[in-house]
Structure 1
Amino acid sequence: VLGSEDDPDSVISRQLAYWKEALAGLPDVLDLPADRPRPAVASYRGERVSWRLPEDTHTAVITLARECGASVFMVLQAALAALYTRLGAGTDIPIGTGVAGRTDEALDDLVGFFVNTLVLRTDTSGDPTFRELVERVKEADLSAFAHQDVPFERMVELLNPERSLARHPLFQTLLTLQNTPEPDLNLPGVTSSAVEVDSGQAKFDLLLDLRETLDDEGRPAGIEGEIEFARDLYNAASVRVLAERLGRVLEQVTADSEQRLTGLRILSEEEAERQLTVWGRGEAAAPPTDLVRAFAGRAARTPDAVAVVSGDRE
């Protein structure tokens, strides 16, 4: 179906040309705040925290998506990109996602795994309103979905980004949203149920694995899921703060979609109060000029503190 890459008019050649242009100049890594510096080689140790968006905000997200002619996924992606920009990751935000890979109806009832990974690039430059950002996301996503047949591995070969054992190529955050009916597995004499399994691993820095829920009457009952994170970089407490901030952004933009990104309130009231009244007290000390002076200054301020721990020795 895709044809040969030797044929410039084939489907695969046209799609490869699209991705080469669409992802040109993509940042190698997003510079997000983390608890620890990125190691030279990723350990892939992971953990998960739960996240939930309440039903009223879920309803507001659906309403905004319909007004913009977009999907719920696109609104979530725009909110995540806006949050990343406000956290200092820049204005060129690549986010990965999975697609079912069943673009032909003949595949609907076929057993098999056709999932592919796409890179969705979000431009947050120019301080757009959130509604404008959703429009940008919609345009970019529809183009990406129209060229979704190129296997991700082939895309990496084509773009040939700087390879590193420390991170995933092309993107480090994956966002998925499940909003299809739960399948029923009916076998004679067998009762089946889904069981969540935590592997203790993480392929990406952050994986937001979300799903829409409905009540018995089919009304929005909230968006929930898990955020899987790399323990090399993050602590669970920091990821929970990130999740809270995403919910805070969604609450604000669904209440006023004409709000510009710079006007979004990222911090909670407690965080803002702490920065103003605790961290803001006194004058900042001049930074030391070298490591020896920094160590000496710290030892002078806290002479009884533990400096080094090695096994059971301090």
Structure 2
Amino acid sequence: PRPRERDFRGDAVIAAAPKALVDRLKALGRARGGASLYMVLLAAWSGFLHRLSGQDDIVVAGASSGREQAAVARAVGMFVNTIAFRTRPDAALPFAAHLDAVARVALAAYDHGDFPFEAAAALAGPPPPGRNAVFDTMLSYENATARAFRIADLNFTSREIAMQAAMFDLALDITEIDGALTLRFNFATQLFDRATIEHWAAAFSQMLAAIADNPDGPIGGIDLVTPGQAAVIAALNDTAADYPREATLVGLFDAAAAAHAARPAVVSGDTVLTYAELGAAADALAAAIAGRVAAGACVGMLLPRSEWCVVAELAILKAGCVFVPLDCGHPPAVLAHILNDSNCAAVIVDAGTAALLPGTVR
């Protein structure tokens, strides 16, 4: 669960998008009415978060230079303002159409880019404990053509700094260098494991390639299962195993009971039945069933959850009959339909459930 108090501790996972892919994403933006690369990435990030969360109202924060006014256009200082982009992704919508909608949202937001975010947040009211105001995720983009430069006698170079803080739940910081993208997924360690973000980073990179390949495909149809995850899924589903194909369930139980007679077989509240006790109780009830019902007939069981459910099911099978489970919560009409449809020859009940049987069965 989300903690009520944030510790702002964070970590980061780095991924990359090659220049060839970035060129295709830029071309996609140009083909959709001149959308910028940032708009394409914003649409992709919004669609990706929709796929992860299932939510169709995704607010992503971005930034405005804050220099729209001529008075500060050339001033030295920090004027960046936060902008909230409210997007409405839909799994059935083609990505290209989603991009068109996101581009319109972005342009409208930029028209009000100098409106102080603090004022917008105040209008939204105080956030719930442990949450940010208005948004919990951010997408930033920087076109850093020069990573090393010189001013007078000073040389400047960039250095990677380990990210140990997180202002938001999840932020994607994208830097374009020489046409390729570096994607930094900064996350709150209170909320996410690093392995989760590593998978998401790979899946988002895969999504970028998918929308470049087929922008007219629906957002919900984009394959986010990475090769590594596909291998894990395949391994988990590789459950084929050799087993005694001619053995019956009753035979397998009897063999287990003979090998582990004193071990617990059923635990129900304070009641514990060993394999030997379960087998003896089932054999006694099976004998009673066989004395009243022909082998192969359907026998119902209408009992509350207890150790007797296991005894009764095993007894029905030991008697050579077909087990028909009945739910004590079903109305009489439903029980009557099941009993008539299965042509039950008998029903195992207790003092409390006998009254639940339809009148035609009593």
Q: Same fold (TM over 0.5)?
A: yes
Whether contact under 8 Å (1:92, 1:125) holds in the other structure is no
Whether contact under 8 Å (1:202, 1:229) holds in the other structure is yes
| Aligned mates of 1:42, 1:293 — CA distance in 2 | 42
| Aligned mates of 1:242, 1:126 — CA distance in 2 | 18
| Aligned mates of 1:190, 1:98 — CA distance in 2 | 29
Q: SS state of the match for residue 239, structure 1?
A: helix
Is 1:87 the counterpart of 2:52? The answer is yes
Q: Where does residue 195 of structure 1 map in the other structure? A: 159
| Aligned mates of 2:236, 2:148 — CA distance in 1 | 54
Whether contact under 8 Å (2:207, 2:223) holds in the other structure is yes
Shift of 1:171: 0.9
What root-mean-square deviation, in Å, do the aligned CA atoms of Structure 1 and Structure 2 show?
Answer: 2.5
Q: Where does residue 114 of structure 1 map in the other structure? A: 79
Per-residue deviation, residues 55-107 of structure 1 (Å, max 9, x unmatched): 22111111111111201011111111111111134111110111111113443
**2:11 pairs with 47, 57, 65, which one?**
47
Q: Where does residue 38 of structure 2 map in the other structure? A: 73
Shift of 1:274: 3.2
Q: SS state of the match for residue 110, structure 1?
A: coil
Q: Where does residue 143 of structure 1 map in the other structure? A: 108
Shift of 1:157: 0.7
Per-residue deviation, residues 112-147 of structure 1 (Å, max 9, x unmatched): 110111110111136110100000000111000101
Q: Where does residue 65 of structure 2 map in the other structure? A: 100
Distance 1:106 1:153, change over 3 A: closer
What pairs with 1:267-286 in structure 2 (closer than 5 Å)? Answer: 267-275=225-233, 278=236
**1:175 pairs with 139, 144, 156, which one?**
139
Q: Where does residue 58 of structure 1 map in the other structure? A: 22
What pairs with 1:144-293 in structure 2 (closer than 5 Å)? Answer: 144-161=109-126, 163-179=127-143, 181-182=145-146, 186-198=150-162, 200-214=164-178, 220=179, 222-275=180-233, 278=236
| Aligned mates of 2:143, 2:131 — CA distance in 1 | 29
Q: SS state of the match for residue 155, structure 2?
A: coil
Per-residue deviation, residues 169-201 of structure 1 (Å, max 9, x unmatched): 211111001126549865433223233434521
Amino acid at match of 2:154: V
Amino acid at match of 1:240: E
Alignment gaps of 5+ in structure 1: 1-36, 215-219, 283-291, 295-314
Q: SS state of the match for residue 177, structure 1?
A: strand
Whether contact under 8 Å (2:148, 2:155) holds in the other structure is no
Q: Where does residue 251 of structure 2 map in the other structure? A: none
Whether contact under 8 Å (1:212, 1:223) holds in the other structure is yes
Whether contact under 8 Å (2:43, 2:99) holds in the other structure is yes
Of all paired residues, the percent bearing the same amino acid is 27
Distance 1:188 1:202, change over 3 A: same
Amino acid at match of 1:230: A
TM-score between the two structures when normalised by the length of structure 1: 0.71
Amino acid at match of 1:125: D
What pairs with 1:29-40 in structure 2 (closer than 5 Å)? Answer: 37-40=1-4
| Aligned mates of 1:60, 1:199 — CA distance in 2 | 30
Shift of 1:248: 0.6
Distance 1:293 1:92, change over 3 A: farther
* Structure with a larger share of its residues in strand: 2
Whether contact under 8 Å (1:41, 1:165) holds in the other structure is yes
Amino acid at match of 2:203: R
Distance 1:293 1:278, change over 3 A: farther
Amino acid at match of 2:198: R
| Aligned mates of 2:268, 2:154 — CA distance in 1 | 70
Amino acid at match of 1:130: F
Distance 1:261 1:189, change over 3 A: closer
TM-score between the two structures when normalised by the length of structure 2: 0.62
Q: SS state of the match for residue 104, structure 2?
A: helix
Amino acid at match of 2:181: I
Q: Number of aligned residue pairs: give it.
A: 242
Whether contact under 8 Å (1:79, 1:250) holds in the other structure is yes
